[in-house]
Structure 1
Amino acid sequence: MAELLYRIGRFAARRHWSVIGAWLAILAVTAVTYVSFAGALSSNITLPDTPTTRVSQQLEEDFEGAGGGNGAIVAETTDGSAFTSEQEEALSDLFDRLAEVDGVADVTDPFETQQQVDDSARQVADGQERIEDGRAQLRTAQQQIDAGRDALAEQRRQAREDGTLAGISAQLQDAEQQLDEGQAELDRQRARLEEQAPQLEVGVTLSELSSGYRTVSEDGSAAVSNVVFDDPINEVTTETKTEIEEMAADAGIEGVEVHPSQEIAQTVPSILGPGEVAGVVIAAIVLFVMLGTVLGAALPLVTALLGVGVASLASLSFSGIVQFVSVTPVLGVMLGLAVGIDYSLFIINRHRRQLKQGADLHESIGLANGTSGNAVVFAGVTVIVALLALNVTGVDFLGLMGTVGAVAVLVAILMAVTLTPAVLSLVGTRILSRRERERLAAGERTHDEQITERDRPMSTMRACWVLGFGIAALLAVAAPATQMRLGLPDGSTQAPESAGYQAYEVQAEKFGDGANGPLLVVADLPSAVAEDDVVREQAAIGSEIGQLWSVEAVVPIGASQDRESLAFQVVPYGAPSSESTEELVRDLRELTPETAAGGEATLGVAGNASANIDISEQLADVLPTYLVLVVGLSLLILVLVFRSILVPLTATLGFVLSLLAAFGGITAIFQIGFLADLFGVHAPGPVLSFLPIIATGILFGLAMDYQLFLVSGMREAYAHGAPARVAVQHGLHAGRSVVTAAAIIMISVFAGFIFSHDATIKPIGFGLAFGVLLDAFVVRMLLIPAAMHLLGEKAWWLPRWLDRILPDVDVEGAKLERSHPVH
């Protein structure tokens, strides 16, 4: 591989205009394919065959009009007063116009709905009052009849004593007959009343269960309209959502603000905002300090940006065929920028060093490509494998994210080993500063590969202290990860000025937190119920659901066409991402309510909150498998590269430590709220569900990059006869400047995304930046050298049988250097 890359570097140096033109042509082609074939990005994350999707499919198939996605339009008065009749009419007209949008099945009028709810409650209350009045009247009439019978009995007794009974016998019989007839009528009225009572009791039960559900706030200042789509929410087109959002924004109702909910007003995150630009500027400053020239600083940036353009346009060209989650291209840009700059820097730095040693320009370019370029290819392939391994999780959107990231890294590698040599040939010795060129012209040569006094090994005591304190510090930072909860962003995590956030806040304040994440519950009955018994079954099952402590309201939706299932809308007490709602979903799925006809029903749960829980649980389940896969891959690759057992073990353990510490930092800031204001986190909540698995793959690859560039120098010095502990220091001194620069560049690029307005991008940017910071500066530059010092010669131990069967990959290109010495 090193020899091949050497030849590629020499070719690119000789034909630099051809190589540059080829890459510009590729960029043009990808731009054309993007314009021709790209589709819309989706902000919805879905998983096939989850409990939520199965219930959603059941609703779509068995319940008429219940299978489509849902969103909300939230209206509030600007002064907090109740809506006027003119405002209500204007809003009702808006809702009617929204219902005509293509792709919208129905838009409810919250004022009509609330009026129906109030009228139903009033009718139930009136019926209950009539029943009570009727019972009171029956009790009075019964008392009168009983009193008449007592009087009649007294009169009969008195007549018997007076001997006049025979004379009034007919009169007494008539009076007794009248009382019997009155009693019979009274019994008939009581029977009719008691016949109505069970139906009324069912009505009372349903009214009490749904009492917490409102579409107009109690103070009359806010209203929520439910928007029902023809298709599931993840299949609703961007055009439909945009049209609704624009109509809401242009409503123009005086004294009223209209906010579409997050499901409708979801925005695609910007790829390059002010934070991202600031990250690139910091990277440019680091490059200038490292390389000493403006031209040298510009080269890695130009190649990285060109690579990002090619990779992004090429990937997005397939977005018309495959559904892309909106965060997917942003991840590609993150990785493409970071590794693109770093990989080009590694080759440029090696080329500069060789020029200062007196190498010929084209020969130096070829050697830099065959040595550092070889390490770049190996490190990049490691990152690609880690990203592609995301496909084994079985999660489609996650596999696609990994694939797009892998494409970005692949393009960065190809750019580094072809375009970088071409541009280096074009700029010639101007890659060196003026002072360096003057020294070179004067015959001065550098020999920084030699062992010097600065390579004196550290003391064993210092190595012990560094290792012990470093491990303790990383474990302390990792401690919050023990409390990590996974979830997906809801409206509360959106930018405060966004419509989705404002809609969320209004609903939370006026209707309760649970109004932002109602659950759809389907009860499968043991057998079909008669049409007349549907309401009774709804009351029986709804009552058991309502007894769960975190339920605010239970509203019957209807029965399936075969009446074997009943559907309910359950409003939880807590927010969609709260622990109480998560527990409620589990409790509902475990609940087996008893039906009115006997037997037990089974419950299924759907809705946005339920879907988020399913996605988070599935990703949490595959994380350990993926982590084992990545750690195993790490061990195999490092054994192959360093021909050692203990070096891979220390490297892998170091990676696990830095990864756990990164998880701890993410949890502390984005879930617990530590330093939340500093990072612009206004609503701490669960950690982004796919962040741990994404961070594992990316940080693994990047950790192996730095491990290769630092420890390969140690191995090279040891192979050339330096004592093991001296080789550790020599390799560290030789590689730490370029690794430091590369790490700062990568941290800057990732950190630029922390200040994104998007709640999905922000934690990814922080997690990757913090992970690289810990791994590069704590693990690779402190813990690994200390551990290798303590291991000494044992660090390079390898069983003989394994040594015989392992191929010599020569990552650092030592054979190439021997065959092409720098003079």
Structure 2
Amino acid sequence: MGRLAFRRRWYVALVWAAVLAAVGLGALKASGASDEEFSMPGIESQKAFDLMEQRFPGASADGATARVVFVAPSGEKVTATENRQAVEKAVADLGDGSQVASAADPFRAKAVSKDGTTAYATVTYKVAANDLTGASKDHLERAIHTAQDSGLTVEAGGSAMDGGGGPGGAAEVIGVAIAAVVLLVTFGSLAAAGLPLLTALIGVGVSMATILTLSAALGLSTTTGTLAMMLGLAVGIDYALFVVSRYREERAKGRVPQEAAALAVGTAGSAVVFAGLTVVIALAGLAVVGIPMLTKMGLAAAGAVVVAVLVALTLVPAFLGFWPNAVLRRRARRSGRIVDEGTRDNGGSRWARFVLRRPLPVLLLGVVGLGALAVPMTDLQLGMPGDEAKSTSTTERRAYDALAKGFGPGFNGPLTVVVDAKGPRRET
């Protein structure tokens, strides 16, 4: 396969370009991905969630919410006439929106603290947070600013304050940049460092475009591609790196470029296939959990890994055919003499000899180091991050703290009890 891809490099490159163009065009024409709710069929809380959607058709149970907190100035109460009027006016403004299902008056909903200093209004939307329009968010912010002008301290939290967005962002860009620096330092060649990055990005492009194309037909959500993008970049760089590194080794042994590419795919490529297969099996295992969203994420990520394997086995040797000497070290390119890098005494070979001479101390040191790294696990607290995990400079965190101060600890983590009066069962 490696020899064929090297010889027919133009055909291989054109095939991958055609695939990328086809799925890219499909992604452009495909309808937008939905915002799938996080569901766990069969458990009691999911039954309560479904019951709420059935009994309250005016607002989706997974619709966005905003909790607007009003705090009276020092020495005053929100129940004072002027403050109360300002709160009621703000609630009326908050409820006047095309996507708003309801805005609860804190004085009617008994959402006022015992000391009368704090009140909150819950704004419920008809759509999920990612479906909120910019106009709805601007309307919410204007209502908050208007209430602040009256002298009240007004903060807001909830899912409506979260920014939407699909997979991808600054984290992936930073990761690619760091990988580029590491590869450049390791290989000492811009081409050798850039080839794994280029092929990984092509593979991720094919995978993400395919996911977007199939999103409507398969019911994929906007979060499905998140894991696929991360793993696609990781294994795409890794698998291409295996092949390129082995190609350089074979060239250092005096192999001609075509034979070196063939041996690289025949040896390192076999390891890539095995490694990719284990990752695919592991990701497919997410279906066992029984959570539909995780199943789709796992299968989409498994597809991205399959694409990365195919890219490493075909596109990488094809690119090596275009630039057979570009991935070699600078000294070899300038002199035209291929140095046998296997005989070079570098830091890796010296470290390997050190470990072989002292295996037991190194093993014990490694175990102790891992134990030290695991110590924080003893105080690990698992949970989904909320507004309490945000910076105190954000309005969401200030709203969270104001509610905790005015209504007491635990108020921000309520338990919803749903009672179905039409049936004998109660779901919590």
Shift of the alpha carbon at 1:82?
A: 4.9
Shift of the alpha carbon at 1:462?
A: 2.7
Report the 3-state secondary structure (helix = DSSP H, G, I; strand = E; otherwise coil) of the residue aligned with 2:122: strand
Which residue, 138, 149, 174 being the options, matches 1:246?
A: 138
Identical residues among aligned pairs (%): 33
Which residue, 249, 263, 288 being the options, matches 1:367?
A: 263
Letter aligned with residue 492 of structure 1:
E
Which residue, 115, 136, 143 being the options, matches 1:218?
A: 115
Give 1:728-747 correspondences, 5 Å limit. none
Would the alpha carbon gap of residues 75 and 237 (structure 1) be closer, same or farther in structure 2, given more than 3 Å must change? closer
Q: Does 1:227 find its partner at 2:220?
A: no
Decide whether the 8 Å contact of 2:33 with 2:212 is kept in 1. no
Decide whether the 8 Å contact of 2:249 with 2:342 is kept in 1. no
TM-score w.r.t. the length of structure 2 is 0.82
Would the alpha carbon gap of residues 364 and 32 (structure 1) be closer, same or farther in structure 2, given more than 3 Å must change? same
Letter aligned with residue 383 of structure 2:
G
Q: Which residue of 2 aligns with 1:28?
A: 21
Report the 3-state secondary structure (helix = DSSP H, G, I; strand = E; otherwise coil) of the residue aligned with 2:323: helix
Would the alpha carbon gap of residues 46 and 217 (structure 1) be closer, same or farther in structure 2, given more than 3 Å must change? farther
Shift of the alpha carbon at 1:376?
A: 1.0
Q: Does 1:74 find its partner at 2:36?
A: no
Letter aligned with residue 6 of structure 2:
A
Would the alpha carbon gap of residues 15 and 59 (structure 1) be closer, same or farther in structure 2, given more than 3 Å must change? closer
Report the 3-state secondary structure (helix = DSSP H, G, I; strand = E; otherwise coil) of the residue aligned with 2:250: helix
Which residue, 37, 40, 47 being the options, matches 1:54?
A: 47
Looking at structure 1, the residues matched to 167 and 421 of structure 2 have their Cα atoms a distance apart, in angstroms, of 47
Give 1:279-358 correspondences, 5 Å limit. 279-321=175-217, 327-358=223-254
Q: Does 1:505 find its partner at 2:373?
A: no
Q: Which residue of 2 aligns with 1:92?
A: 88
Shift of the alpha carbon at 1:408?
A: 1.9
Shift of the alpha carbon at 1:417?
A: 1.3
Looking at structure 2, the residues matched to 11 and 78 of structure 1 have their Cα atoms a distance apart, in angstroms, of 76
Q: Does 1:516 find its partner at 2:407?
A: no
Decide whether the 8 Å contact of 2:38 with 2:293 is kept in 1. yes
Report the 3-state secondary structure (helix = DSSP H, G, I; strand = E; otherwise coil) of the residue aligned with 2:288: helix
Looking at structure 2, the residues matched to 420 and 218 of structure 1 have their Cα atoms a distance apart, in angstroms, of 69
Would the alpha carbon gap of residues 269 and 510 (structure 1) be closer, same or farther in structure 2, given more than 3 Å must change? farther
Would the alpha carbon gap of residues 258 and 15 (structure 1) be closer, same or farther in structure 2, given more than 3 Å must change? farther
Structure 1 residues 85-105: Cα deviation after superposition (integer angstroms, max 9, x where no partner): 566545534534544545644
Letter aligned with residue 254 of structure 2:
G
Shift of the alpha carbon at 1:42?
A: 3.7
Structure 1 residues 671-716: Cα deviation after superposition (integer angstroms, max 9, x where no partner): xxxxxxxxxxxxxxxxxxxxxxxxxxxxxxxxxxxxxxxxxxxxxx
Question: Which is further off, 286-295 or 18-27?
Answer: 18-27
Looking at structure 2, the residues matched to 456 and 505 of structure 1 have their Cα atoms a distance apart, in angstroms, of 54
Shift of the alpha carbon at 1:363?
A: 1.8
Structure 1 residues 341-391: Cα deviation after superposition (integer angstroms, max 9, x where no partner): 111111111111212222111221122111111211111111111111111
Decide whether the 8 Å contact of 1:492 with 1:501 is kept in 2. yes
Looking at structure 1, the residues matched to 216 and 393 of structure 2 have their Cα atoms a distance apart, in angstroms, of 31
Q: Which residue of 2 aligns with 1:383?
A: 279
Q: Does 1:474 find its partner at 2:374?
A: no
Shift of the alpha carbon at 1:411?
A: 1.6
Letter aligned with residue 10 of structure 2:
W
Q: Which residue of 2 aligns with 1:120?
A: none
Would the alpha carbon gap of residues 60 and 79 (structure 1) be closer, same or farther in structure 2, given more than 3 Å must change? same
Report the 3-state secondary structure (helix = DSSP H, G, I; strand = E; otherwise coil) of the residue aligned with 1:17: helix
Shift of the alpha carbon at 1:508?
A: 2.1
Q: Which residue of 1 aligns with 2:11?
A: 18
Would the alpha carbon gap of residues 87 and 331 (structure 1) be closer, same or farther in structure 2, given more than 3 Å must change? farther
Looking at structure 2, the residues matched to 218 and 480 of structure 1 have their Cα atoms a distance apart, in angstroms, of 40
Q: Which residue of 2 aligns with 1:140?
A: none
Q: Judging by fraction of residues, say which structure has more helix.
A: 1
Give 1:388-787 correspondences, 5 Å limit. 388-439=284-335, 441-442=336-337, 445=340, 448=343, 462-481=358-377, 484-494=380-390, 496-522=392-418, 604-605=427-428
Would the alpha carbon gap of residues 351 and 57 (structure 1) be closer, same or farther in structure 2, given more than 3 Å must change? closer
Decide whether the 8 Å contact of 2:36 with 2:293 is kept in 1. no
Give 1:801-816 correspondences, 5 Å limit. none
Letter aligned with residue 218 of structure 1:
D
Structure 1 residues 712-741: Cα deviation after superposition (integer angstroms, max 9, x where no partner): xxxxxxxxxxxxxxxxxxxxxxxxxxxxxx
TM-score w.r.t. the length of structure 1 is 0.45
Structure 1 residues 379-414: Cα deviation after superposition (integer angstroms, max 9, x where no partner): 111111111111122222222221122122112111
Report the 3-state secondary structure (helix = DSSP H, G, I; strand = E; otherwise coil) of the residue aligned with 1:277: helix
Shift of the alpha carbon at 1:239?
A: 2.9
Looking at structure 1, the residues matched to 36 and 391 of structure 2 have their Cα atoms a distance apart, in angstroms, of 15
Would the alpha carbon gap of residues 337 and 60 (structure 1) be closer, same or farther in structure 2, given more than 3 Å must change? closer
Looking at structure 2, the residues matched to 411 and 459 of structure 1 have their Cα atoms a distance apart, in angstroms, of 37
Letter aligned with residue 233 of structure 2:
L
Shift of the alpha carbon at 1:258?
A: 5.2
Shift of the alpha carbon at 1:480?
A: 4.4
Looking at structure 1, the residues matched to 72 and 326 of structure 2 have their Cα atoms a distance apart, in angstroms, of 63
Structure 1 residues 132-157: Cα deviation after superposition (integer angstroms, max 9, x where no partner): xxxxxxxxxxxxxxxxxxxxxxxxxx
Would the alpha carbon gap of residues 515 and 357 (structure 1) be closer, same or farther in structure 2, given more than 3 Å must change? same
Count of matched residue pairs = 417
Decide whether the 8 Å contact of 1:266 with 1:500 is kept in 2. no
Decide whether the 8 Å contact of 1:40 with 1:238 is kept in 2. no
Looking at structure 2, the residues matched to 496 and 23 of structure 1 have their Cα atoms a distance apart, in angstroms, of 48
Would the alpha carbon gap of residues 356 and 297 (structure 1) be closer, same or farther in structure 2, given more than 3 Å must change? same
Letter aligned with residue 18 of structure 2:
A
Looking at structure 1, the residues matched to 316 and 360 of structure 2 have their Cα atoms a distance apart, in angstroms, of 42
Decide whether the 8 Å contact of 1:39 with 1:321 is kept in 2. no
Letter aligned with residue 308 of structure 1:
V
Would the alpha carbon gap of residues 374 and 36 (structure 1) be closer, same or farther in structure 2, given more than 3 Å must change? same
Report the 3-state secondary structure (helix = DSSP H, G, I; strand = E; otherwise coil) of the residue aligned with 2:24: helix
Would the alpha carbon gap of residues 284 and 245 (structure 1) be closer, same or farther in structure 2, given more than 3 Å must change? same
- For structure 2, which runs of at least 5 residues remain unmatched after alignment? none
Looking at structure 1, the residues matched to 133 and 106 of structure 2 have their Cα atoms a distance apart, in angstroms, of 20
Decide whether the 8 Å contact of 2:71 with 2:119 is kept in 1. no
* Larger RCO, structures 1/2 (Cα 8 Å, 6+ apart): 2
Rg: which structure is higher? 1
Shift of the alpha carbon at 1:482?
A: 5.1
Report the 3-state secondary structure (helix = DSSP H, G, I; strand = E; otherwise coil) of the residue aligned with 1:466: helix
Report the 3-state secondary structure (helix = DSSP H, G, I; strand = E; otherwise coil) of the residue aligned with 1:520: coil
Would the alpha carbon gap of residues 432 and 65 (structure 1) be closer, same or farther in structure 2, given more than 3 Å must change? closer
Decide whether the 8 Å contact of 1:249 with 1:258 is kept in 2. no
Q: Which residue of 1 aligns with 2:103?
A: 107
Letter aligned with residue 74 of structure 1:
V
